[in-house]
A and B are shown apart, each in its own frame.
Chain A
Amino acid sequence: MFFIKPIESNEDYQKYVDEKTPNSPIWKDCFNAFWVGGLICAIGQVIFEICKMRGVGETNCYAIVSIMLIFFSAFLTSLNIFNKIGKFAGAGSLIPITGFANSIVSPAMEYKSEGYVMGVGAKMFTVAGPVLVYGISSSIIVGLIYLIFNMQYISLV
């Protein structure tokens, strides 16, 4: 007789799930993520160098790079091209600021049929909202911790 071993503990179940889920080819994924992500950053650096040659200050150069990459990403997402790049590159297009812009445009497009306020306006922030919440909160906490170690800056106004 052949018995199927019953799944008793959580670990057994986890092992079973791991056996059954298909392994994504991690080396290929990583290679694609590397060159697409690197390329996006290199394009950013080219924009940066052009701005710098025109005599823009360094902080503003970085801001211009972010704005232009966000613009390209929003534009490509609205043409449905960015999602194809995302499928191919994975984290390569998700981690750069392009992924942040895509995460705003993509749900906004999808929920357009639910109206412009609660559809587009609210669903824009399904992914970007948490990013802003945790980003801003952690920056304030970092600031307060910095203040504890540098007491000379304490003043209320």
Chain B
Amino acid sequence: MDWFMILKAFIVGGIICVIGQVLIDKTKLTPARILVAFVTTGAILGGLGIYKKLIDFAGCGATVPLTGFGNLLSKGAIESLKKDGILGALMGGVKSAAAGISAAVFFGYIASLVSKPKIKKQ
């Protein structure tokens, strides 16, 4: 087990979350907007090739935050674009993020089925 890598993941992941926390406290953006901003930032940084260096450095510290999800989308788009041209740009993003999206939809659906409905406070 690579303990140094785990420590790096802890620190980098923590810093990315602190950036989000500062945005919440200082700008009054809603959580949905912050998630959108993080995904878009990740996609752009992934397209520029910067995010890959962060992943090489911190592993899951960079892939687990939502910026990593954005990076995965644009990385997939670029990779399949090299194979299939313009068609690849449309196919690749979702294909590479398919595991995450499908898992979120499926587990989310199951979890909401088995849970007791919350009683809304009036």
Contacts and interface: CB of A to CB of B under 8 A. Distances in A.
Contact of A156 (B19, B63, B87, B120): B87
Contacts of A138: 39-40, 43-44, 70, 73-74
Interface string A46-74: 11110001000000001101110111001
A97 B99 contact: no
B69 to A, nearest CB: 6
A1 interface: no
A36 B59 CA distance: 17
A7 interface: no
Interface residues on B, range: 35 or more
Given A130-B36, A138-B40, A104 B22 contact: no
Interface in A126-149: 126-128, 130-132, 134-136, 138-140, 142-147
B119 to A, nearest CB: 10
Contact of A157 (B16, B70, B85): B85
Contacts of A136: 73, 93-94
A118 interface: no
Given A94-B20, A124-B109, A146-B81, A104 B104 contact: yes
Interface residues on A, range: 35 or more
B14 A41 contact: yes
B99 A45 contact: no
B39 A70 contact: no
B85 A154 contact: yes
Contacts of B61: 38, 41-42, 45
A121 B38 CA distance: 25
Interface in B44-100: 44, 46-47, 58-61, 63-66, 68-70, 72-74, 76-78, 81-82, 84-90, 92-94, 97, 99-100
Interface of A: 24, 26, 29-30, 33-42, 44-49, 53, 62-63, 65-67, 69-71, 74-75, 77-80, 90-92, 94-97, 99-101, 103-105, 108-110, 112-113, 120-121, 124, 126-128, 130-132, 134-136, 138-140, 142-147, 153-157
23 contacts: A24-B25, A33-B14, A38-B17, A63-B100, A66-B64, A66-B100, A74-B104, A94-B20, A95-B66, A97-B66, A97-B68, A104-B104, A108-B109, A109-B118, A110-B120, A124-B112, A134-B36, A139-B47, A139-B76, A140-B90, A145-B47, A147-B86, A155-B84
